[in-house]
Amino acid sequence: MSTLLSIFVTLVSLGTIVGCFLLLMWCRNDKMGVEEGQSMGHAFDGIEELNNPLPKWWTYMFLFMIVIGLLYLLAFPGLGNWKGLLGWQSSHQDIRSLAQGKAAAEAAKSNGSAVEYDRELAKADAVYGAKFKELAYQADGKTYKAIEEIAADPEARKVGQRLFLQNCAQCHGSDARGGRGFPNLTDAEWQWGGKPSDIKTTIMNGRQGIMAAWGDILGKDGVKEVASYVLNLSGRKVDMVEAKKGETRFAVCAACHGPDAKGGTAFGAPDLTNTTWLYGGSRQVVEETITHGRHGVMPAWKDILGEDKVQLLASYVYGLSHTGESAQ
Ligand code: HEC
Ligand code: HEC
């Protein structure tokens, strides 16, 4: 945070504690002109208020809390930009890339400063690592079981679902049915291929779907015509004269989407002949896609999760569309 904000936060935090301390002292000393144990001169329904001192145990407890509070602020980050004497961090917050993240985690491990997120990851690996191995590997402990085989194992599927909910659900949904721009993983349509090895490659290395913007090249009318052709492919009623013109223009699209528009897994180009849409199938959205292009990014998980977990995740995802098991 900025220096000014840091000073402000520090002043407010310390000011509150000092304020509490002064209030306590004032309450201890002030007799308000009345002897201890004597009436303050207020009576409510016959009950009089006496000038009683604060109980000693309570006063000491209050002081103790103030000391604990100050020690806490000294040891941990919290006072503006103060990093705390223990060097504790919840996570590597300034990290912008995977490589930086790895370096930071290594550094934290070697100089013994505690980053909560790394600790939890290490703990989870210690507890579950062996289980992941047992579910993913054959009895020899060296070769992976086939993805189809893991997908048929109810226990592995449960573990896969856990991993999916932790790492994938924020984009693909907890039921894996996706959303706008995030593919449904439970259906039969695959941008990048639905074979076990395709799915594993997708998760290991990530994918980038690049559909260029055609607005400038085709012009407004061109976009309209080709959109009519595309919409008609999935059975929509359109102006057939326009669609015919669009069909000729589709030659430039066929490079990726295929001459029959059924898509191509080499470029991650979706099938345009069915009613499954990644971005939406209304005329407006299809024209928007063609005019401005799309660029969907699936992150790579190899370095984040490691191959054992990816093997289980690939099996889980494969199972969602191949064994009739739904995610929930
Ligand atoms: C370089 C390859 C390439 C070319 C050429 C190309 N596309 Fe695409 N198209 C893609 C990819 C990849 C996607 C998926 C984008 C993503 O994953 O974000 C896509 C997505 C689409 C979608 C969205 C589908 C959905 O399910 O929402 C439409 C519609 C579309 N393209 C139409 C066209 C048309 C019409 C043309 C020709 C003018 C064309 N594309 C040319 C690669 C291409
Ligand atoms: C940050 C969002 C995000 C997260 C997190 C994410 N994905 Fe994806 N995933 C995408 C996008 C976007 C695509 C489509 C890429 C494209 O447009 O080509 C995709 C595509 C895929 C595909 C290919 C689908 C196809 O039709 O070929 C699979 C399989 C997949 N993701 C599995 C996973 C798994 C398993 C995880 C968790 C380890 C995961 N994803 C986490 C965004 C995400």
Query: What is the tens place of the pLDDT at every residue in 20-65?
Result: 999 998 887 766 777 888 888 888 898 988 888 888 899 999 999 9
**Residue, of 189 and 92, whose pLDDT is higher:** 189
Q: What is the pLDDT of residue 152?
A: 94
Smallest-distance ligand from the CA of 300: 2
62 lines ligand 1 (CB under 6 A): no
The answer to whether 292 touches 91, Cβ cutoff 8 Å, is no
Task: Return the ligand 2 atom nearest residue 265 CA.
Answer: 27
147 lines ligand 1 (CB under 6 A): no
Q: Which two tokens stand for residue 235?
A: 């059975």
Task: Report the alpha-carbon angle 132-134-139, nearest 5.
Answer: 150
Q: At a CB cut-off of 8 Å and minimum separation 6, what does 71 contact? A: none
How long is the chain?
A: 328
161 lines ligand 2 (CB under 6 A): no
Q: Which two tokens stand for residue 222?
A: 């061109």
**Alpha-carbon span 157 to 136, nearest angstrom:** 11
Rounded CA Rg of the chain: 32
176 lines ligand 2 (CB under 6 A): no
Residue 327: is its pLDDT beyond 70? no
167 lines ligand 2 (CB under 6 A): yes
Going from the C-alpha of 52 to that of each of 20, 33, 56, 58, the distances in angstroms are 20, 13, 11, 13
**What is the CA(96)–ligand 1 centre distance, in A?**
30
**What is the CA(193)–ligand 1 centre distance, in A?**
16
Residue labelled with tokens 């009683």: 52
Q: Which of 210, 231, 238, 257 to mutate to test the pocket of ligand 1 (most atoms within 8 A of CB)?
A: 257
214 lines ligand 2 (CB under 6 A): no
Q: What is the pLDDT of residue 259?
A: 94
Task: Return the ligand 1 atom nearest residue 229 CA.
Answer: 35
The answer to whether 172 touches 178, Cβ cutoff 8 Å, is yes
**Alpha-carbon span 261 to 264, nearest angstrom:** 8
User: Which percentage of the chain shows pLDDT scores above 90?
Assistant: 68
Mean of the per-residue pLDDT values of the chain: 90
Task: Report the alpha-carbon angle 176-164-304, nearest 5.
Answer: 130
Residue 85: is its pLDDT beyond 80? yes
C-alpha dihedral (196, 198, 201, 202), degrees to nearest 10: -110
Task: Return the ligand 2 atom nearest residue 190 CA.
Answer: 26
**Residue, of 99 and 226, whose pLDDT is higher:** 226
Q: What is the pLDDT of residues 275-302, one digit of tens each?
A: 999 999 999 999 999 999 999 999 999 9
**What is the CA(295)–ligand 1 centre distance, in A?**
9
The answer to whether 151 touches 315, Cβ cutoff 8 Å, is yes
Q: Which of 298, 303, 313 to mutate to test the pocket of ligand 2 (most atoms within 8 A of CB)?
A: 298
Q: Which two tokens stand for residue 326?
A: 């739904």
211 lines ligand 1 (CB under 6 A): yes
Closest residue by Cα to atom 38, ligand 1, is 253
Q: What is the mean pLDDT of residues 180-194?
A: 95
96: pLDDT confidence band, cut at 50, 70 and 90?
Answer: confident
Q: Which two tokens stand for residue 290?
A: 């063609």
